[in-house]
Amino acid sequence: MIVQRRQFSSAINRMTMMGWVTFSILLSITIGLCTFQPIQAEPPASDYVFGMSTALTGPASDLGENMKTGVLAGFDRANKQGGIRGKQLRLIILDDGYEPSRT
């Protein structure tokens, strides 16, 4: 009988503790969400500049040229539609010759 009461009492204590832990976590999340303010980032003053390293020479030059053509086509399309938030997209391309030491 005493063993059953201890087990029951222990189970109640564990449930009470889990309740407090859950309450504390939910309270912390609620307070965090109430004080959260997203950062309003200002767009850059100049164009958006992207970099690309690809094989324009060497054994994979065909692949590199096709990748360059595809990316430039996407950038041209976006720029013709006004860019992103009024800023144009520019791409800087470097030739790595499909050599790991040049990437």
pLDDT, tens digit, for every residue of 48-88?
A: 999 999 999 999 999 999 999 999 999 999 999 999 989 99
What is the Cα 83 distance to its own chain's centre?
Answer: 21
Q: Are residues 52 and 22 in the same domain?
A: no
Average pLDDT over residues 7-25: 73
Q: Are residues 52 and 12 in the same domain?
A: no
Q: Which domain holds residue 61?
A: 48-102
Q: Give residue 5's pLDDT band: very low, low, confident or very high (50, 70, 90).
A: low
Contacts of 85 (CB under 8 A, 6+ apart): 43
Q: Are residues 26 and 54 in the same domain?
A: no
- Whether 42 is covered by a domain: the verdict is no
Q: What is the model's pLDDT at position 31?
A: 79
Is the distance from CB of 87 to CB of 48 less than 8 angstroms?
A: yes
Per-residue pLDDT reduced to its tens digit, 19-49 = 888 888 887 887 777 776 676 667 667 899 9
Q: How far apart are the first and last CA of the chain?
A: 75
Tell whether the model's pLDDT for residue 10 goes beyond 80.
Answer: no
Q: Are residues 52 and 98 in the same domain?
A: yes
Q: Are residues 71 and 27 in the same domain?
A: no
Q: What is the model's pLDDT at position 56?
A: 94
How many domains are there within the chain?
2
